[in-house]
Structure 1
Amino acid sequence: MSESAAGALPLLHVDEGLVVVDKPAGLAVHRSNLVGADEDYVIDRLRAQVEGPLYLAHRLDRATSGVLLVARSREIAAALGQQLMDRSVAKHYLAVVRGWPGKSGCIDHPLSGSSLKGPAKEARTRWRRLATVELPIAMGRYEQQRYALLRVEPETGRYQQIRRHFAHASHHLIGDTTHGRGDHNRLFRIHWSMHRLLLHARRLQFDHPADGRRMSVQAPLDASWQRVIQAFGWEAALAQEATDEN
């Protein structure tokens, strides 16, 4: 493993079977028809750091940051894929949305695939509200703006599920340039220099295919996230969420 590789990615866990990466926002996981031909990719950077074959066990949207699971053999990848299909992998995200959703709930709304066409399949996303803020900033017909910090747990893994589900519920994610609200995104860019989607894969829990032990891997928040957490006074709520998890 090369510590000096250009563009090296933070590695959260490494063993003979797995590599767990802290994926930065704005970096595509791999080449696809949804991104340009000359893009920078997680998998290419990782191959410069870690020797041997690598297989993506799951994926994150380009705009999303956080825990990304990579297998080091086809057998490990297949075992992790089966856990994902069985829904025994717990995926915990943090998100900032417009408005104040209820204290907890579940969005149960079928979604189509990555083409956004074709038949919709079952899709469920649970959330718990961790903190709120009301800002004295006039915009549109409102004199104040409300935002909430959520812990989000998708039960299924449809294309851009969290972003699409909260847009469906009219609680658009901040920084979402595809399904979000441009006026709220601009407000965050102007006041907090926020140029990213506020969706972070905070924690992934799964059974290690080699020995069955339950793994829990967490990715820290980047500087942009920290800036918003501090500006809104959400430090205590975030600390409490971590305590509740443990």
Structure 2
Amino acid sequence: MSVPAPLQLLHLDEHLVAVNKPHSLAVHRSRLVGEDEDYLIDRLRLQVDGRLHAVHRLDRATSGVLLVARSQEIAAELGRQLMARTVGKSYLAVVRGWPAEQGEIDYPLSGSSLRGEAKPALTRWRRLATVEVPIASGRYAQQRYALLEVQPQTGRYRQIRRHFHHVSHHLLGDTSHGRGDHNRLIRQHYGVHRLLLHAWRLEVVHPATQAPLRFEAPLDDSWQRLLGTFGWSGALPADDVALRHPAAAAAHE
């Protein structure tokens, strides 16, 4: 049996770990992901000693910053910050079409079973770049795509994917809520075989020291290749305090 590739650690101290989760890797065993032989928590145990507690969720298909606590007490404190919505989260996503330069989607969503009572859900975005590619599909001779920075204000199941499906700006590579024709197009013409959703930046107050922390997860080869092909390599914004989550920005003042 081959040894799994080591994970990229963004931060490591005696209280918590921040890791850059690869796409197509489940965080841990759960009824939502079925039975795999490879989980992020199991890989992380090969690199970090002691108990590990994942304190928030990223879908198997989503990559990016994931926080892991090294004690139950730290996990509980991080959980309180998440519940209070004082953790700043920024994702990168590529969607079909050209949404407005900025906006929000305020649309209630049900739970992980996709049934039951819908609860309030709010997602904000700003558009970073656009492209029109000369590839015919369906009724159109060209296809339009956009790179977005997305900031979910709530934490519903697959919130970003379901919200952009709701407004018909489906995420590329989304095999559950996206468009099969556009997924095939990016596979065949650009060699992208993944969901283009990445948990890019995360800001949190360290639960032990109270120091503000900010993590940024580098993009993988598929992302980098597509950014270069679409002419978006310079589109990612630098650190911009004005765009931070209000609570996280206040911690830096």
> What TM-score, normalized to structure 1?
0.95
| Distance apart, 1:36 and its partner CA | 2.8
Match of 1:188 in 2: 186
Residue 116 of structure 2, aligned match among 91, 115, 118: 118
Match of 1:155 in 2: 153
Matches for 1:34-45 after TM superposition, within 5 Å: 34-45=32-43
Among all aligned residue pairs of Structure 1 and Structure 2, give the percentage whose two residues are the same amino acid. 69
Matches for 1:86-97 after TM superposition, within 5 Å: 86-97=84-95
- Listed as ranges, the gaps of 5+ residues in structure 1 are none
| Distance apart, 1:245 and its partner CA | 5.3
Match of 1:13 in 2: 11
d(CA) in 1 for partners of 2:141, 2:18? 44
The 3-state SS of whatever aligns with 1:156 is: coil
Match of 1:59 in 2: 57
The 3-state SS of whatever aligns with 2:238 is: helix
d(CA) in 2 for partners of 1:211, 1:31? 31
The 3-state SS of whatever aligns with 1:49 is: coil
Match of 1:237 in 2: 235
| Distance apart, 1:235 and its partner CA | 1.3
Matched, 1:46 2:47: no
Counterpart residue type for residue 178 of structure 2: G
| Distance apart, 1:243 and its partner CA | 4.3
| Distance apart, 1:184 and its partner CA | 0.2
Match of 1:208 in 2: 206
Superimposed CA distance per residue, residues 19-56 of structure 1 (whole angstroms, 9 cap, x where no aligned partner): 11100000000101122323310011111111101111
Match of 2:246 in 1: none
Match of 1:173 in 2: 171
| Distance apart, 1:175 and its partner CA | 0.2
Q: How many residues align?
A: 240
The 3-state SS of whatever aligns with 1:35 is: coil
d(CA) in 2 for partners of 1:91, 1:34? 23
Superimposed CA distance per residue, residues 160-210 of structure 1 (whole angstroms, 9 cap, x where no aligned partner): 000000000100000000000000000000111100000000011000001
| Distance apart, 1:14 and its partner CA | 0.0
d(CA) in 1 for partners of 2:158, 2:4? 29
| Distance apart, 1:237 and its partner CA | 1.3
d(CA) in 2 for partners of 1:229, 1:7? 25
Counterpart residue type for residue 102 of structure 1: A
d(CA) in 2 for partners of 1:216, 1:243? 10
Counterpart residue type for residue 240 of structure 2: D
Match of 1:128 in 2: 126
d(CA) in 2 for partners of 1:161, 1:35? 17
The 3-state SS of whatever aligns with 2:235 is: helix
d(CA) in 2 for partners of 1:148, 1:9? 29
- Listed as ranges, the gaps of 5+ residues in structure 2 are 243-253
Distance 1:32 1:171, change over 3 A: same
Counterpart residue type for residue 242 of structure 1: A
Match of 2:140 in 1: 142
d(CA) in 2 for partners of 1:77, 1:9? 20
The 3-state SS of whatever aligns with 1:151 is: strand
Counterpart residue type for residue 22 of structure 2: P
| Distance apart, 1:9 and its partner CA | 0.8
